Amino acid sequence: MIGPTDPNGGQNSVEVSLGEHVEGRYSNVVMITHTATEVILDFSVHVPGLPGPKVVSRIIITPEHAKRLLGALDDNIKKYEKRFGAIHHPEERNPPA
């Protein structure tokens, strides 16, 4: 993700390290809500045939960080599609009969 900018308009680099207990989580559903000062992302897993998605992680960020995240996701999706091809929504692959 894009790091903080310096007063001259450049970006400061930030070294990030993962602790030994950091785990990856799978999510196939994300629910997003917000207040005036926070954006809340609830990452969930929905298993077909079971009731409702189960939240596996909640991330709370500022609106400013949410906008940076949006830009970083957009940039990375463009790079992904350039390398691997277009991403299609399931509805685009299987139009209704």
pLDDT digits (tens, 9 = 90+) for 46-71: 999 999 999 999 999 999 999 999 99
Per-residue confidence band for 76, with pLDDT thresholds at 50, 70 and 90:
very high
Sign of CA dihedral 86, 39, 25, 45: negative
CA dist., res. 16 & res. 33, Å (int) = 27
Query: Alpha carbon of 27 to those of 2, 47, 65, 66: distances in Å?
Result: 23, 10, 21, 18
Per-residue confidence band for 1, with pLDDT thresholds at 50, 70 and 90:
very low
Sequence letter at residue 55? V
Tokens of 53: 């998605």
Residue bearing tokens 């629910």 = 31
Sign of CA dihedral 1, 69, 4, 56: negative
pTM for the full predicted model: 0.73
Residue bearing tokens 């970083």 = 72
